[in-house]
Amino acid sequence: MVERDRIRPSVRTGAIMNACGRLSRFALRSSPLLLVAIPAFAQPADSSSPAREEIVVTATRSAQSSFDQPIAIDSIGQQTLQQGQLQVNLSESLARVPGILVQNRQNYAQDLQIESRGFGARSTFGVRSIRLYVDGIPATQPDGQGQVSNFDLGSAQRIEVMRGPFSALYGNASGGVIAIFTEDGQPGTHLEATAETGSFGFRRFAAKISGEQDGFNYVADAADFHTAGSRDHSRADRPDFNAKIRDDLDDQSSLTFLANAVSISAQDPLGLTRAQFAVSATLAGTGAIQFDTRKYVDQEQFGLDYKRALTDADSLDAIVYGGNRSVKQYQAIPLSTQASPQSPGGVIGLGNNYEGTDIHLTDKRQLGGAKLEVTTGVAYDQLDEFRTGYLNFIGGQTGVEGALRRDENDDVFSFDQYLQAQLDFDPLLVEAGVRNSRVLVSAHDHYVASAHSSNSGDVAYRATTPAAGVTWRMTDWVNLYASYGKGFETPSLNELAYRSTNGSLPGLNFVLKPSRSDNYEVGIKSFLGDNVKATLAGFHIDTTNELAIEQNTGGRSVYQNVGRTGRDGIELSLDGKLPYGFEVAAAYTWLRAIYVQSFFSCPSLPCVPRRVPAGNRIPGIPRNDAFAELSWHDDPSGFSAALETRFESRVYVDDPNSDSAPQYFTASIRTGFDQDFGDLKLHEFVRLDNLADRKYAGSVIVNESNGRFFEPAPGRAVYFGINAKYGW
């Protein structure tokens, strides 16, 4: 391994009713579940009003009951996120959210693969089509590309996950919203330490301090994670830090300081061909060792959140933030490809400086017998990216940074205005909003050689995205809702990066258009007694100008707009407490995602166009995905145990649907033991993953040019952990 490198830091009523009717007919035609859902759900354990409502803020930007919102949104609490979990990846806990698919690539050089109702499946690294937030600060850049590496689960109070039409009110790349919120310190001073170890060289150590005195509230958490990896050439180290400090300035206002940092050093084992996968699930892909494929990431981020109650009815929330992220990635690009004078090489260097602000006002008041809440705001985000390219060899030595082949400065600027209103006149609750977005991308080429002309340029994208929905409180324990919204997604800088795979047309691919979508949803939310919540949602999504691969060779992906796609789906969830200390959580998603129009792509050079017919499945999206967990806790002894199961149907790996990763079913168990010694509290756990030691592909690399589609999941693995808390 060479020494670590450093680079420069761098809504209409008629349309809504038609949509609701269309989706209702689809749901009734597609699933008998909907026909039995209302009578099945409408059997309360008692006649009392439900008192178990989870509170969320992502849906409306103020604290609201998720049960009443005409929105598919779930909140995952601290206990679920932490107890018996490794607290390393979102894949540990988000499997219980229907409509969300989080695949752990077991490759920390490429991050998790996260999908929301099929959006984001094409991403080969990072997170696309989903807006990410950490304590209100975007973890998604203005171009729509996001990372979750700075999501600190050790200090998280909850994660909110929103899908469907109202995600559009968060702007570009709005297939969904995932927001993490850091816990508040409790009165006094509290220290916490965690140590974990397990299979594949896994270890994680964490320390946290938190507290509150006289209106001053603080939490700081630091963790160090290491794994040798379940495959060859897959070692990773990731220390991270997260802090939140709040000062209650007076009875009406507060100022919160937010900071987080992460540093990643990870080998990249690449994907496997079907033949390689059949031989062994622990192999590194072709070229991984030869070119020492790896990635280094450093990110620091800071923010301030000022909240003030202006009057009894009005409040202000203003967030400003800034940060930088540097990336150096070594790829397995053939020497012959890199040797071309037009090639940008086999080492990518990115240095990002970013900043932004989000300011909104909220007004709450009574209008006769109705309650009206209106939120209006503006959001500004800017990304300044230094993109460099180098050869991944010097002479005959590979895996080292060679000569400069690309030097470019890319800027992305976005300025959005949004308005959201809620009118509650029981038994109806109406929610509506609109967002106006403008995204400007510009490139400034500083590398002009004899065989390389300047490739500077710019492009602007604009969209106005409305959303509206209505909830009917049919009874105290059953709500019906319907919603509609328009979505908007620009190409990211990574998707704009290349116009040809061999470098013959250098520069950004400014001909790409943003994709636009129409999202329709109907659903039922119900309480089965006081302690169990069940939801059922059906949705239909039409998208135009969807982005897909045009060419993909030599480690370079060129994108194109491919016309229309369609997504039809059903989401079902069940969550709550049962008698005798048992708890249940279950989620099921059925999703049909297809190309509605045919298109052509070039899988190799020279280009021989290949037709992708209409009706083909969009790759990377399973038709069926299910999760179920049954847990038990004995309060007197402090002992707990849980069984987790997961099923996923087969997943096509490319646009022609030429191959697929087979379906799989896995099970895991965990046990825990709590001891309370007053000021000192201990928790130990053991978990065993992949009980049957099944061999399966945990994720796929969509449209990988060399057929290296498959990313194997680990075999059977055991982990141990202990957590100690002391407070005074």
Write phi, then psi, for 354 (nearest 5 degrees): -140, 155
What's the mean pLDDT in 237-245? 98
- List pLDDT tens digits, range 635-693: 999 999 999 999 999 999 999 999 999 999 999 999 999 999 999 999 999 999 999 99
pLDDT at 175: 85
DSSP 8-state code for residue 54: P
Positive or negative torsion for Cα 108, 111, 112, 113: negative
Q: What six digits make up the tokens of 471?
A: 């909830």
Outline where DSSP puts E strands in 310-456. 314-330, 347-367, 370-390, 393-394, 397-398, 404-425, 428-445
Are 426 and 382 in contact, with CB atoms under 8 Å apart? no
Q: What six digits make up the tokens of 265?
A: 């050093």
What is the pLDDT confidence band of residue 454, given thresholds at 50, 70 and 90? Answer: low
Could you identify the residue written with the tokens 């990896």?
Answer: 229
What's the mean pLDDT in 82-87? 94
How far apart CA 498 and CA 551 sit, in angstroms, is 10
Q: Bigger pLDDT: 595 or 38?
A: 595
Could you identify the residue written with the tokens 């969904």?
Answer: 176
Q: Which string of DSSP letters, residue by residue, matches 427-458?
A: TEEEEEEEEEEEEEEEEEE----TT-----EE
Are 354 and 323 in contact, with CB atoms under 8 Å apart? yes
DSSP 8-state code for residue 288: T
Could you identify the residue written with the tokens 């022609």?
Answer: 656
Cis ω for the linkage preceding 427 (within 30 of 0):
yes
- The answer to the question of residue 696 being in a domain is yes
**Kind plus residue range of the DSSP H or E element containing 217:** strand 216-227
How far apart CA 91 and CA 72 sit, in angstroms, is 19
- The answer to the question of residue 639 being in a domain is yes
- The answer to the question of residue 312 being in a domain is yes
Nearest to 133 by CA among 100, 182, 69: 182
- The answer to the question of residue 6 being in a domain is no
Show contacts of 21-27: CB within 8 Å, 24+ apart: 22/520, 22/540, 23/482, 23/520, 23/521, 23/522, 23/538, 23/539, 23/540, 24/482, 24/522, 24/538, 26/538, 26/540, 26/568, 27/522, 27/538, 27/570
- List pLDDT tens digits, range 301-333: 999 999 999 999 999 999 999 999 999 999 999
pLDDT surpassing 80 at residue 20? no
Are 247 and 215 in contact, with CB atoms under 8 Å apart? yes
What's the mean pLDDT in 276-299? 96
What's the mean pLDDT in 42-50? 39
- List pLDDT tens digits, range 183-199: 999 999 999 999 999 99
How far apart CA 379 and CA 285 sit, in angstroms, is 42
Q: What rounded mean pLDDT belongs to the chain?
A: 89
Nearest to 266 by CA among 347, 197, 327, 353: 327
- The answer to the question of residue 206 being in a domain is yes
192, 359, 377 from 433: Cα distances, Å: 42, 16, 11
How far apart CA 297 and CA 295 sit, in angstroms, is 7
pLDDT at 174: 73
Number of domains in the chain: 1
**Kind plus residue range of the DSSP H or E element containing 157:** strand 156-163
Nearest to 5 by CA among 289, 390, 344, 300: 390
User: Taking the CB of residue 453, how many other CB atoms lie within 10 A of it?
Assistant: 10
- The answer to the question of residue 3 being in a domain is no
Could you identify the residue written with the tokens 């609201």?
Answer: 64
DSSP 8-state code for residue 619: T
Q: What is the CATH number of the domain that holds 669?
A: 2.40.170.20
- List pLDDT tens digits, range 95-151: 999 999 998 888 999 888 899 999 999 887 788 899 999 999 999 999 888 999 999
**Kind plus residue range of the DSSP H or E element containing 725:** strand 717-727
pLDDT at 605: 64
Could you identify the residue written with the tokens 């806990």?
Answer: 93
pLDDT surpassing 90 at residue 258? yes
Angle at 621 between CA 488 and CA 126, to 5 degrees: 60
How far apart CA 22 and CA 229 sit, in angstroms, is 48
What's the mean pLDDT in 68-93? 95
How far apart CA 464 and CA 261 sit, in angstroms, is 34
- The answer to the question of residue 523 being in a domain is yes
What is the pLDDT confidence band of residue 445, given thresholds at 50, 70 and 90? Answer: confident
What is the pLDDT confidence band of residue 494, given thresholds at 50, 70 and 90? Answer: confident
Q: What six digits make up the tokens of 162?
A: 């929103």
Are 455 and 443 in contact, with CB atoms under 8 Å apart? yes
Q: What six digits make up the tokens of 715?
A: 């075999």
- List pLDDT tens digits, range 596-642: 999 998 866 667 788 999 999 999 999 999 999 999 999 999 999 99
Are 242 and 155 in contact, with CB atoms under 8 Å apart? yes
What is the pLDDT confidence band of residue 508, given thresholds at 50, 70 and 90? Answer: confident
Positive or negative torsion for Cα 59, 62, 67, 69: negative
For 214, residues 6+ apart whose C-beta sits below 8 A from its C-beta are none
Point out the least confidently predicted range of 52-61, 101-110, 163-172, 528-537.
52-61
pLDDT at 496: 87
What is the pLDDT confidence band of residue 504, given thresholds at 50, 70 and 90? Answer: low
**Considering the entire predicted model, what is its pTM?**
0.91
Are 682 and 722 in contact, with CB atoms under 8 Å apart? yes
Region of residue 399 (left: phi > 0; alpha: psi -120 to 50; beta: else): left
User: Taking the CB of residue 254, how many other CB atoms lie within 10 A of it?
Assistant: 17
Q: What six digits make up the tokens of 417?
A: 């205005």
pLDDT surpassing 80 at residue 25? no
Rg (CA), the chain: 25
pLDDT at 56: 93
- The answer to the question of residue 7 being in a domain is no
Q: What six digits make up the tokens of 515?
A: 């994709």
Positive or negative torsion for Cα 163, 76, 236, 649: negative
Q: Bigger pLDDT: 642 or 175?
A: 642
DSSP 8-state code for residue 18: H
User: Taking the CB of residue 421, how many other CB atoms lie within 10 A of it?
Assistant: 17
Range of 225's domain? 13-727
